[in-house]
Amino acid sequence: MLHSWRVAILATWAAVSVAQAQSPDVATAGQWTPVQKWPYSAVHTHVLPTGKVMFFSEFGDGDNPMLWDPQTNVLTALPKAGYNIFCAGHAFMADGRLLVAGGHISDDSGLPYATIFDPFKLTWTRIPNMNAGRWYPTVTTLPNGDMLVTGGAKEDRSKNLIPQVWQASKNSWRNLSNASLELMYYPWMFTTPQGKTLMAGYWKPARYLDTEDKGAWSVGPRTSYAHSRNAGSAVMYDEGKVLLTGGDNPPTNNVEVLDLGSSKPTWRTVPPMRYVRRQHNSTVLPDGTVLVTGGHSGPGTDNPNFPRYETELWDPATEKWTELARSSAYRGYHSTTVLLPDGRVLSAGSKGVKTMQVFSPPYLFRGTRPTITSAPTNIAYGENFRVTTSDAASITQATWIRLGSVTHAFDENQRFMRLRFTASNGGLTITAPANANLAPPGHYMLFLLNGQKVPSVAKIIRVGGDASVPTPNEPPPDTGFTAVAFGSEWKYDDRNVDPGPAWTQPTFNDAAWKKGPGQLGYGESDERTVLNKTTPVQSTVYFRRKFTLHAMVEKAMLQVVHDDGVTVFLNGTQVFSKFISNPTHAAYADGASADNTLSQTALPAARFLMGENTLAVMVKQANATSSDLSFDLELKVITDEMQMDALFFESPNGGETLRPGSVQTLQWMTHGSGVANVRVQFSADNGATWTTVEPSIPNIGFFEWTVPRTETTQGVLRISDASRPDVEDRTDTPFTITAIPRFRAITFGEYWKFDDRNLDPGSQWTSLGFDDTAWRSGPGKLGYGGGDEHTVLNKTTPSQPTVYFRKKLTLGEAIRSANLRVLHDDGVAIWVNGRLVFSRYTDNGLAHGAFASTVLKTPITSTGAIDASAFVPGDNIIAVMVKQANGESSDVSFDLELNLEAR
The pLDDT value given to residue 488: 87
Q: What number is the average pLDDT over the span 127-135?
A: 93
pLDDT band at 106 (very low <50, low <70, confident <90, very high): confident
CB atoms within 10 A of CB 514: 15
Q: Could you give the dihedral angle defined by the CA atoms of residues 165, 169, 171 and 177, in that order, rounded to the nearest 10 degrees? A: -30
The residue type found at 334 is H
Q: What number is the average pLDDT over the span 97-110?
A: 93
The pLDDT value given to residue 550: 67
Closest CA to 118 of 147, 88, 95: 95
Q: What number is the average pLDDT over the span 618-636?
A: 94
Calculate what percentage of the chain has a pLDDT beyond 90. Answer: 79
pTM comes to 0.81
The pLDDT value given to residue 673: 62
- For 135-170, the pLDDT digits (tens) are 999 999 999 999 999 999 998 888 999 999 999 888
Quick check: 474 pLDDT over 50?
no
- For 47-93, the pLDDT digits (tens) are 999 999 999 999 989 999 999 999 999 999 999 999 999 999 999 99
- For 802-852, the pLDDT digits (tens) are 999 999 999 988 999 999 999 999 999 999 999 999 999 999 999 999 999
Distance CA 7, CA 17 (A): 18
Q: What number is the average pLDDT over the span 21-35?
A: 82
Mean pLDDT of the chain: 91
- Give residue 373's Cα distance to chain centre: 41
- Write the CA distances from 437 to 142, 143, 193, 221, integer angstroms: 8, 5, 5, 20
Distance CA 587, CA 580 (A): 9
Contacts of 637 (CB under 8 A, 6+ apart): 480, 481, 483, 549, 553, 554, 555, 556, 557, 608
Calculate what percentage of the chain has a pLDDT beyond 70. Answer: 94
- Give residue 778's Cα distance to chain centre: 20
The number of CA neighbours under 13 Å toward the Cβ of 22 is: 24
- For 240-277, the pLDDT digits (tens) are 999 999 999 999 999 999 999 999 999 999 999 999 99
Distance CA 89, CA 79 (A): 19
605: region left, alpha or beta (phi > 0 left; psi from -120 to 50 alpha): alpha
- Peptide bond between residue 34 and the one before it cis (omega within 30 degrees of 0): no
- For 648-694, the pLDDT digits (tens) are 888 888 888 888 888 888 988 776 667 889 999 999 999 999 999 99
Distance CA 391, CA 419 (A): 17
E-state strands within 763-889: 776-779, 782-784, 791-792, 802-811, 815-825, 827-832, 835-840, 860-866, 874-883
Contacts of 867 (CB under 8 A, 6+ apart): 818, 832, 835, 837
Distance CA 672, CA 643 (A): 9
Quick check: 759 pLDDT over 90?
yes
pLDDT band at 644 (very low <50, low <70, confident <90, very high): low
* DSSP string covering 212-264: STT-EEEE-PPPS-SS--TT-EEEEEETTEEEEE--TTTTB--EEEEETTSSS
Quick check: 471 pLDDT over 60?
no
207 strand-pairing partners: 199, 219
- The H or E element that residue 416 is part of is strand 416-424
* DSSP string covering 517-568: ESSEEESSS--SEEPP--SSPPSEEEEEEEEEESS-EEEEEEEEEEESEEEE
pLDDT band at 327 (very low <50, low <70, confident <90, very high): very high
Contacts of 512 (CB under 8 A, 6+ apart): none
Q: What number is the average pLDDT over the span 860-864?
A: 96
Is residue 607 classed as helix, strand or coil in its secondary structure?
helix
The pLDDT value given to residue 203: 85
Q: Show the DSSP H helices in 2-127 as ranges.
A: 24-29
CB atoms within 10 A of CB 460: 19
Eight-class DSSP state of 7: P
Quick check: 2 pLDDT over 70?
no
pLDDT band at 600 (very low <50, low <70, confident <90, very high): very high
Q: What number is the average pLDDT over the span 369-385?
A: 96
pLDDT band at 198 (very low <50, low <70, confident <90, very high): very high
- Peptide bond between residue 536 and the one before it cis (omega within 30 degrees of 0): yes
The dihedral built from the CA positions of residue 44, 47, 53 and 54, taken in this order, carries a sign that is negative
pLDDT band at 17 (very low <50, low <70, confident <90, very high): very low
Contacts of 736 (CB under 8 A, 6+ apart): 656, 657, 658, 712, 713, 715
- Strand 378-379 and strand 459-463: the pairing is parallel
Quick check: 385 pLDDT over 50?
yes
Distance CA 698, CA 680 (A): 11
Eight-class DSSP state of 61: G
Task: Report yes or no: 448 and 456 within 8 Å, Cβ to Cβ.
Answer: yes
Q: What number is the average pLDDT over the span 340-349?
A: 98
Distance CA 445, CA 843 (A): 60
The dihedral built from the CA positions of residue 168, 169, 171 and 174, taken in this order, carries a sign that is negative
